[in-house]
Amino acid sequence: MSSFGFLKYFVPQDRKFFPLFDKAVSNLQECGTAIYTLVTCEPEERQRWFRRIEQLEHIGDEITHEIFLELGRNFITPFDREDIHRLVTSIDDVLDYIHGSSKRIELYKLTHFDTDMIKLCELIQQSTAELKSAVMELKNMDKMRDISVSLVRINSIENHADDIFDHAVAGLFANEKDAVKIIMSKEVLHGLETATDKCEDAANVIESILIKMA
């Protein structure tokens, strides 16, 4: 049995890291829902969601900082310290790209969201929900199958997001004559698609953790 395989029996005893992981992914999932709500709500409600996404990004930064502080304070961690760092960083990256996309929508005063942009936001909502499910089950290593199912779904969502992004950019160049509007929309689309990439990065870290803990 590997050292990680032996240590998995001590994982449920952790009282510091798992509550923080749960807070991080719950905050992320809320932000994923918020970006979808932003592009589907009534125009008069958008300012509320711009501010909420900004708030959630700041909360995420605070949780990330708290986890890094715990890494410095604690010799024993529930799994590899590098994997904890990578997982938390990737979660924070998703938040950053959601917030960045929201900020560009606000700054560029975009008022129309086509089907592809809305779909990308829906995929972010789905991906962050799956990531939350996977991370929150890490404390229950007998749920490895459930975690793996979520990881497969995140990978599938990312592939779908790639296709949506390519279709959206092709449509922009084919139908939009204003070069400035093309640039602004493409930046937002790229930020949204990258958010799904970062969800997949987090899923890859979780997969690495599962392999080590097996």
Q: Residue 24: exposed, middle, or buried by beta-carbon count in 10 A (0-12, 13-18, 19+)? A: buried
Give the residue from 64, 38, 61 showing the smallest Cα distance to 51.
38
pTM higher than 0.95, yes or no? no
| Contact of 45 with 149, CB cutoff 8 Å | no
Neighbours of 126 (CB within 10 A): 20
The values of phi and psi at residue 23, to 5°, are -65, -40
Please state, for a pLDDT cut of 90, what percent of the chain lies above it: 80
Quick check: 83 pLDDT over 80? yes
CATH number of 3-213: 1.20.58.220
| Contact of 209 with 83, CB cutoff 8 Å | yes
pLDDT tens across 110-162, in order? 999 999 999 999 999 999 999 999 999 998 877 788 999 999 999 999 999 99
